């Protein structure tokens, strides 16, 4: 399990104030409606399990490679990680890069899996 230092948690909290966070039920609706689903966890974490249909792009590669995955800056995008912090930072970074329809799953994959239909 990844533990985050205080600086990381501070940056994640600030990012959460600038982005849209969706509860898992609303995230499921967005996924069904065709949002691009982006898993920003490590390769090892992704291999352990992920949401079906998710694209994998670790957070550290986001700025450099995301335009290859989604060149349309108005397309709906939904980011997630394990607990919500890295997903929030990724959504914030995508907004900074000019993507206008970005959200993250509140509570990340853990919350998403815990709140099954």
Residues noted as catalytic: 81
Determine how β-strand 77-80 pairs with β-strand 36-39.
parallel
Three-class SS of residue 104? strand
Tokens 């709906």, located at residue: 76
Backbone angles phi, psi at 91, to 5 degrees: -60, -40
């Amino acid at each position: 399990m990844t533990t985050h230092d205080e600086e990381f948690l501070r940056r994640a909290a600030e990012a959460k104030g600038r982005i849209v966070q969706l509860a898992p039920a609303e995230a499921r609706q967005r996924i069904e409606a065709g949002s691009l689903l982006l898993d920003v966890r490590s390769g090892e974490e992704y291999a352990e399990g992920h949401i079906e249909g998710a694209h994998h792009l670790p957070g550290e590669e986001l700025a450099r490679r995301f335009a290859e995955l989604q060149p349309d800056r108005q397309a709906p995008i939904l980011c997630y990680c394990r607990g919500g912090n890295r997903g929030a930072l990724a959504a914030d970074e995508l907004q900074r890069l000019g993507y206008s329809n970005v959200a993250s799953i509140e509570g990340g994959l853990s919350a998403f899996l815990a709140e099954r239909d």
